[in-house]
């Protein structure tokens, strides 16, 4: 009989929550005990996602949870809500682990968190028990933490190609332009209230170039992993497509470094990683290959300007950028094969 991780998903009916429930319902080591939301109480989750075929608990309120029965809680909630739930249960139920898909435990400095999210952090004492985890950078650490902060989708697509190259001093870090384009699901089901631009479903929309919330996350983690500060502009866009991210990073390589060395360094760094795919040099790339997978495809391309290159990174914002990476982190947290439930 296989070991079962007794699990709850809080925020089960959002785009990310449904993606998570779909993955967990197929995972051989997971037993879903609670699917929680604030609305649609008592309804079947399959009404909201036809992919979910397995018979699962009906949607219920968080108040109905018997925390003693659980091993793990996934929180797919608006910013500021997960910290309240974790704060109430962390010390009462010492066995309980959490994977938070919001921003609540991504930022280690509460002042920076408040500046970017306009919320006072109500669980500051618990930040030290949390780990920000892009899975490929934390394989051996995840199981040591009860709270896992699942990264943002844009920062995942940016850090995966950059961190190994910065550490090997192969690129110039003083003038990068990072241009990311995402399907509108990345903004959540209520994205029309966040963006007032006309014809959102039919247009490409640029926003938050000066101070996007993910910038503090990118700054924090690149410095933590490389001990170097990078200077860059970050330009996010919404596309008239449901899912997928394509990030384009414009930078200069060191003049004595051939393009092949940059590619080979990424291949070497990710040789044991099941989900990172390094394409041939100058490969054309789009998000189409990675949709509904936990993969990240990376392409390194030369330009007409000497030493100026573009690194492209493609992920599915709902998978490697959210639910897929959350399941990958769960596998590492419970010392399972990290690809379980993600093939």
What are the extents of the domains in the chain?
A: 5-151+321-333, 154-317
Under a CB-based contact definition with an 8 Å cutoff, are residues 179 and 251 in contact?
Answer: no
- Say if residues 342 and 23 touch (Cβ distance below 8 Å): yes
- Paired sense of beta strands 147-149 and 205-206, if any: unpaired
% of the chain residues with pLDDT over 70: 95
Highest CATH level, class, for 5-151+321-333: alpha beta
pTM of the model as a whole: 0.94
- What is residue 70's predicted lDDT score, i.e. its pLDDT? 98
Q: What does residue 156 show for φ and ψ, rounded to 5 degrees?
A: -65, -45
pLDDT average, residue stretch 121-148: 97
The answer to whether residue 153 is catalytic is yes
Measured at the CA of 35, the angle between CA 58 and CA 318, to 5 degrees, comes to 125
Average pLDDT, the chain: 94
- Which of 36, 153, 216, 296 is the catalytic position? 153
Contact 287, 312 (CB under 8 A): no
154-317, superfamily in CATH? Dihydrodipicolinate Reductase; domain 2 (3.30.360.10)
Give the pair of three-digit tokens for residue 65. 């949870």
Look-up: residue for tokens 């093939």? 343
pLDDT tens digits along 181-231: 999 886 655 555 555 666 667 778 888 888 888 999 999 999 999 999 999
């Amino acid at each position: 009989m296989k070991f079962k991780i007794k699990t709850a998903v809080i925020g089960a009916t959002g785009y990310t929550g449904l993606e998570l429930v779909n993955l967990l319902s197929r995972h051989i080591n997971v037993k879903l005990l609670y699917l929680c939301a604030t609305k649609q109480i008592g309804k079947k989750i399959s009404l909201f996602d036809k992919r979910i075929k397995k018979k699962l608990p009906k949607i219920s309120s968080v108040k109905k949870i018997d925390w003693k029965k659980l091993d793990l809680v996934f929180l797919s909630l608006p910013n500021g809500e997960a910290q309240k739930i974790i704060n109430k249960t962390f010390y009462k139920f010492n066995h309980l682990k959490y994977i938070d898909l919001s921003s609540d435990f991504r930022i280690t400095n509460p002042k920076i968190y408040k500046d970017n999210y306009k919320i006072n952090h109500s669980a500051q004492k618990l930040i030290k028990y949390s780990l920000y985890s892009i899975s490929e950078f934390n394989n051996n650490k995840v199981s040591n933490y009860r709270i896992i902060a699942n990264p943002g989708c844009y920062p995942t697509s940016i850090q995966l190609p950059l961190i190994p190259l910065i550490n090997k001093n192969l690129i110039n870090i003083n003038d990068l332009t990072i241009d990311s384009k995402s399907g509108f699901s990345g903004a959540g089901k209520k994205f029309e209230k966040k963006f007032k631009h006309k014809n959102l479903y039919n247009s490409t929309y640029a926003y938050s170039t000066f101070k996007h919330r993910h910038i503090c996350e990118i700054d924090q983690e690149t410095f933590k992993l490389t001990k170097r500060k990078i200077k860059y502009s970050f330009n996010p866009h919404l596309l008239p497509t449901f899912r997928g991210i394509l990030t384009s990073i414009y930078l200069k390589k060191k003049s004595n470094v051939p393009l092949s060395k940059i590619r080979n360094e990424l291949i070497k760094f990710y040789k044991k990683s099941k989900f990172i795919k390094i394409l041939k040099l100058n490969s054309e790339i789009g998000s189409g290959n990675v949709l509904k997978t936990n993969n990240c495809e990376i392409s390194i391309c030369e330009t007409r300007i000497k030493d100026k290159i573009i690194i492209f990174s493609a992920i599915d914002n709902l998978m490697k950028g959210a639910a897929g990476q959350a399941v990958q982190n769960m596998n590492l947290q419970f010392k399972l094969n990290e690809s379980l439930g993600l093939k």
